[in-house]
Structure 1
Amino acid sequence: MSARPSEEHADIVLCPDGPMLLRGAAVVQDEDGVRHRTTRPVTAVCRCGHSAIKPWCDGTHKLLRD
């Protein structure tokens, strides 16, 4: 997906052993190609693959730690 220069972009923060945080408006495409628009000022996106509410993080990664 290409962005136009005039469009706003979300800031992205990768949390160590945790989710990807999106600050600002964004659209996330899941593994099935379904597009999800963020609705919060900061949104956590699952990176561990085990969330029950993918593509959003539900904190399951905390249970997977050693």
Structure 2
Amino acid sequence: MPNDRSDRARRVQLRRDGPLLVEGPVEVVLEDGTTAFSDRCLVALCTCRRSRRYPWCDTSHRSRSRG
């Protein structure tokens, strides 16, 4: 179907000093082989690994000191 979301490319937005924004739903395969799933329409993936909800961003990157 042409309007089926799975048939079109997913949009991924890179943010300087912030999360990776991905159009959902998404399934993330972690280093240990486990998977995390989100059915939200936009998902923020942590890139700094400071999140307590990793792989999901909880804005912990904001508290990182800039030097």
User: What residue identity is the alignment partner of 2:26?
Assistant: A
Unpaired segments of 5 or more residues in structure 1? 1-6
Match of 2:53 in 1: 53
| CA shift for structure 1 position 10 | 2.5
Match of 1:41 in 2: 41
Identity between Structure 1 and Structure 2 (%): 33
User: What residue identity is the alignment partner of 2:44?
Assistant: A
TM-score of the superposed pair, with normalisation by structure 2: 0.76
| Greater Rg by CA | 2
Unpaired segments of 5 or more residues in structure 2? none
Is contact 1:10-1:25 (8 Å) kept?
no
TM-score of the superposed pair, with normalisation by structure 1: 0.77
Structure 1 runs of 4+ aligned residues shifted over 3 Å read none
